[in-house]
């Protein structure tokens, strides 16, 4: 995938992104809510197999597959974040995920990336809606989801299983519905 926007590009991850990815996923607010991105990678090269796997899926438009895309600055091709989607196992629905380097937050990049990815998902699929599940403690992410058109559906507290990236015991469940034409 490649989507060019005014300041950023959404593209497939490449091995050259491993060093920046390693740094970004260790930033305080990223690791706080997305621990799984840094948990098993002790070195930047530990992302190579994951990037190879993503590369093997790059021609697919199946939004049920868990795919992640690099968000890079258009002029420098510098990795600044990630957007992705895929089937959320416990819910059986397609979830959108994202993070942005702390240095690039509050500049509109994440919003552009999420809106472009969701438009693409609706374009290549017949899904009536996409979801976002956000830890109740992650208020900036909740505000971003709402700016992107996601509607708060309900607050959920998992019973009998632990959400691996959650800081609080509950999460907000959002939906973004396909626009009717």
Q: List pLDDT tens digits, range 135-146.
A: 999 999 999 999
Confidence of residue 166 (pLDDT cuts 50, 70, 90): confident
CA distances from 155 to 90, 91, 103, 128 (A): 16, 14, 30, 21
Q: List pLDDT tens digits, range 14-58.
A: 999 999 999 999 999 999 998 888 888 999 999 999 999 999 999
Grouping H, G, I as helix, E, B as strand and the rest as coil, residue 80 is: strand
The three state secondary structure string of 101-170 is CHHHCCCCHHHHHHHHHHHHHHHHCCCCEEEEEEECCCHHHHHHHHHCCCEEEEEECCCCCCCCCCCCCC
Return the pLDDT at 4.
97
Determine the Cα–Cα distance for residues 133 and 158; give it in Å rounded to an integer: 12
CA distances from 130 to 44, 63, 108, 146 (A): 31, 10, 21, 13
At 86, list the tokens.
Answer: 């895929």
* Cβ contact 116:87 at 8 Å: no
pTM: 0.94
């Amino acid at each position: 995938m490649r989507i060019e926007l005014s300041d950023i590009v959404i593209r497939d991850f490449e091995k050259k992104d491993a060093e920046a990815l390693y740094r970004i996923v260790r930033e305080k607010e990223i690791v706080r809510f997305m621990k799984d991105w840094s948990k098993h990678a002790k070195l930047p090269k530990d992302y190579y197999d994951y990037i190879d796997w993503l590369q093997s899926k790059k021609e697919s438009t199946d939004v049920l597959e868990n795919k992640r895309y690099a968000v890079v600055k258009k002029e420098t091709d510098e990795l600044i974040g990630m957007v992705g989607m895929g089937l959320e196992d416990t819910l059986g629905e397609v979830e959108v995920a994202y993070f942005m380097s702390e240095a690039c937050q509050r500049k509109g990049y994440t919003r552009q990336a999420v809106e472009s990815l969701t438009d693409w998902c609706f374009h290549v699929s017949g899904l009536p809606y996409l979801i976002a599940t956000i830890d109740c403690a992650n208020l900036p992410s909740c505000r971003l989801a709402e700016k992107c058109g996601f509607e708060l559906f309900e607050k959920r507290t998992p019973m009998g299983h632990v959400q691996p990236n959650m800081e609080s015991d509950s999460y907000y469940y959002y939906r973004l519905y396909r626009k009717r034409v």
